[in-house]
Structure 1
Amino acid sequence: MKAPEKAMVMAAGLGLRMRPLTLERPKPLIPVIGKPMLDHALDRLEEAGVQTAVVNAHYKGEMIADHLKARTRPAIALSPEDTLLETGGGVKKALPLLGSSPIYVVNADILWLNGPSPTLARLARHWDPEAMDALLLLMATTKSVGYEGRGDYHMDPVGRLVRRGEMEIAPFVFAGVQIVKPELFAQNTPDGAFSTNLIWDRAQEAGRLYGLAHDGLWFHIGTPAALQESEDLLSMSDVSVVTT
């Protein structure tokens, strides 16, 4: 399977939990170890050979647009949102820019370090379009930095996923990175805002939702406290690991 050459970077959120840091700038432009979170994601996509990254923007979107003007690799296509469309609606709006082949979708509020091999390439090696509609990168909840939830998914030995029940605790959290078929966002989906959970639940019901456990470090940077914790941990080691 050829690795995806296009990607969607989700950067349109309001960043309410990150206040007061997001009062002056959008959350994707908050730096971690001297580099905006958005650039960490785009650097990973460049490393993986992605040719075009579609970036959606809403809150302080003009700042994101200005920040990306000098970026040449990957090529940037902006998908501005006048109203928030959530994760699923954001991808659906950007479909004319994304094409029909499988794409990476990456959240702009996470940071990951590669394990023994580059994470996006590893995800692409596991992608099987004959069996899968979506392949989610997962992180063990016990090894996650900045995450305090109950987890998202259970995973069987071959990688098929089942969402946790309402009162359950699941061993894996969605790590904000996936490969997915873009046409799923156009098939009987609402106009306007909707969550990617709709796509995943349909794929799960069809037995076509799979996961891959991340084998490196992963940071969920959702609050100022999580940002501080992440930077403290990263500063304890060679900062160069962020770019390897």
Structure 2
Amino acid sequence: MSGLSAMIFAAGRGTRMRPLTAITPKPLIEVFGKAMIDHVFTRLDDAGVKRYVVNVHYLADMIEVHVRRHAPGAVTISDERSGLLDTGGGLVKALPHLGDKPFIVANSDTFWLEGAFPTLRRVIDSFDPEKMDALLVLAPTVTAVGYDGRGDFQLETDGRLTRRREYTVAPFVYAGCAMMSPAALADPPGDVFSLNVIFDRLIAKGRLYGVRLDGLWLHVGTPRAIRDAERAIRASAA
């Protein structure tokens, strides 16, 4: 897909990463000698992304300077300094900069070690706007590094997603990266809302799909998780 765009969510406060985020925004905290957001840029660059939108709020100036240095002329800043819009609201605000074709969304702390096939290449090749409005990267909960939650989704045999049932553990967790159609954001519920609202709408329509990560997902949400992620990266390179 030519002219591919991506939205990187970088506006959060990173409260679970304190005290490291007292003076450094979470996207700029280093993992294995490289800022978190630069790991994301590498994955997206390799997938052929040409245009970026990055939202900012907490310690916004630091992030803005950093990302403009990474991709001069290819980054648009979506300014949320006046108030956080959450992931859904932030994406709606950024839509005019993402174009009218399907685009990638990624959290600024999205990490995975690739398996046999590049994950984002599979996502791009598998996206079918005739039957889906969003295609999520899913990580198996049992192998995810640094994750101890109950998971998010069941993956049906046809690729459709359903939510984890109450009081159960789901086999897959959303890995913080997806491909979406602008149509998924039609009729937003307000100015501030989570992408989970959109995901649930798409589930009801049968238009939310998933791709299983062919690799190892690294959930980097706390200072301790940084050490776990770096250990996994070193082990993969051995």
TM-score bin, normalised by smaller chain: over 0.9
- The match for 2:210 is 211
What displacement does 1:73 show?
A: 6.9
The alignment-based identity, stated in percent, is 49
Instruction: Answer yes or no: is 1:122 the counterpart of 2:130.
Output: no
Give the aligned residue type for 1:120: L
Match of 2:233 in 1: 234
CA–CA distance in 1 between the matches of 2:193 and 2:209?
A: 21
**Alpha-carbon distance in structure 2 between the residues aligned to 1:163 and 1:237:** 32
TM-score (norm 2): 0.95
Aligned match of 2:160? 160
Q: Report the alpha carbon displacement of residue 151 of structure 1 after superposing the two structures with TM.
A: 0.3
Q: Give, in angstroms, the shift of residue 229 of structure 1.
A: 0.9
Aligned pairs for 1:183-198 (under 5 A) are 183-185=183-185, 187-198=186-197
CA shift for structure 1 position 238: 2.3
AA at the equivalent of 1:118: P
SS in 2 for 1:92: helix
Scaled by the length of structure 1, the TM-score of the pair is 0.93
Counterpart of 2:61 in structure 1 is 62
Amino acid at match of 1:11: A
Whether the 8 Å CA contact 1:51–1:73 is kept in 2: the answer is no
The separation in 1 between residues aligned to 2:94 and 2:211, in whole angstroms, is 26
Residue segments in structure 2 that go unaligned for 5+ positions in a row = none
**2:146 is aligned with 1:146:** yes
Contact 1:53–1:74 (CA under 8 A) maintained in structure 2 = no
Partner residue in 2 for 1:7: 6
- Separation in structure 1 between the aligned mates of residue 102 and residue 227 of structure 2, nearest angstrom: 35
Give the match's secondary structure for 1:44: helix
CA distance in 1 between partners of 2:63 and 2:16 (Å): 19
Q: Map of 1:126-137 to 2, 5 A cutoff?
A: 126-137=126-137
- Is the 1:4–1:102 contact (alpha carbons within 8 Å) kept by the matching residues of 2? no
CA contact (8 A) 1:4 1:104 kept: no
Q: 1:47 to 1:8 in 2, by over 3 A?
A: same
CA distance in 1, matches of 2:107, 2:24: 17
Give SS of 2:136's match: strand
- Tell me which residue corresponds to 1:21: 20
Alpha-carbon RMSD across the aligned residues, in angstroms, is: 1.5
Partner of 1:72: 71
Quote the offset at 1:74 in angstroms. 8.2
Partner amino acid, structure 2, of 1:233: A
2:136 & 2:165 partners in 1: Cα distance?
18
- Offset of residue 192 of structure 1: 1.9
CA displacement at 1:5 relative to structure 2: 0.3
Query: How much does 1:4 deviate?
Result: 6.7
| 1:21-63 per-position Cα deviation (integer Å, ceiling 9, x unaligned) | 1011110001111000101101111111111011111110110
Mapped to 2, the partners of 1:110 and 1:148 lie a distance apart of 16
Unaligned regions of 5+ residues in structure 1, if any? Answer: 240-244
Question: Who is 1:242 aligned against?
Answer: none
